[in-house]
C-alpha cells in the first residue's frame, strides 16, 4: 500500500490537471448487504461445515458493521457518479452494502484515462474519516442522492 499511496500522492502533486475539485462529493460502496449466512447452507461441506460457516458468518458481521471500515488514509477508488453505485455492474460485483459519502479534499480524477467495461467515473482519494459526510445503507443512499437514472432506480 505504501508504494501505491506514494504514487497517487506524487500524481496529485505533479498533475494538477487531474485533480478532482476539492469539496465535491465522492462515493464508495463498502461490501455488505448480503443475506445472513445460516448453518444449514453449509451442509455439503462435510467435517469443515462448522469452521467454514463461522468464517463466513464473521465476514458477514464485519461487512455489515460500519466500524470495520478502515479509514487508514490509504488512497482507494471512489466514483464521482451516483448512477455507477446503482448500476448492474456494481450489483454484479456484490456492491450493495453501505455507501461512504466523502467530501474530497485531495483526489485524482482518473476517469479520463482508465478504460474498463463500464465507465466507473473513477477517482482515487485517501480514505480519511475527517472527509466523510455520511455512511448510509445502499437503499438510503439511492433515495437521498439518486437522480432516477440508475439501473436500480429504473428497476432494470
Give me the sign of the Cα torsion angle 34, 39, 41, 44: positive
- The pLDDT tens digits for 34-92 are 667 888 888 888 888 888 888 888 877 777 777 778 889 999 999 999 999 888 877 76
> Which pLDDT belongs to residue 94?
66
Distance CA 82, CA 76 (A): 17
Q: What is the mean pLDDT of the chain?
A: 86
CA angle 38, 139, 142 (to 5 degrees): 150
> Which pLDDT belongs to residue 114?
67
Percent of the chain at pLDDT exceeding 70: 88
Amino acid at each position: 500500500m505504501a508504494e501505491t499511496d506514494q504514487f497517487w500522492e506524487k500524481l496529485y502533486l505533479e498533475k494538477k490537471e487531474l485533480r478532482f475539485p476539492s469539496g465535491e462529493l465522492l462515493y464508495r460502496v463498502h461490501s455488505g448487504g448480503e443475506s445472513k449466512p445460516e448453518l444449514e447452507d453449509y451442509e455439503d461441506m462435510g467435517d469443515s461445515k462448522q469452521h467454514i460457516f463461522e468464517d463466513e458468518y464473521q465476514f458477514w458481521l464485519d461487512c455489515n458493521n460500519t466500524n470495520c471500515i478502515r479509514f487508514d488514509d490509504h488512497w482507494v477508488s471512489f466514483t464521482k457518479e451516483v448512477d455507477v453505485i446503482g448500476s448492474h455492474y456494481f450489483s454484479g460485483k456484490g456492491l450493495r452494502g453501505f455507501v461512504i459519502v466523502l467530501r474530497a479534499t485531495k483526489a485524482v480524477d482518473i476517469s479520463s484515462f482508465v478504460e474498463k467495461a463500464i465507465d466507473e467515473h473513477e477517482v482515487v482519494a485517501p480514505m480519511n474519516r475527517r472527509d466523510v459526510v455520511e455512511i448510509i445503507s445502499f437503499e438510503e443512499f439511492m433515495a437521498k442522492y439518486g437522480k432516477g437514472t440508475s439501473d436500480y432506480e429504473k428497476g432494470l
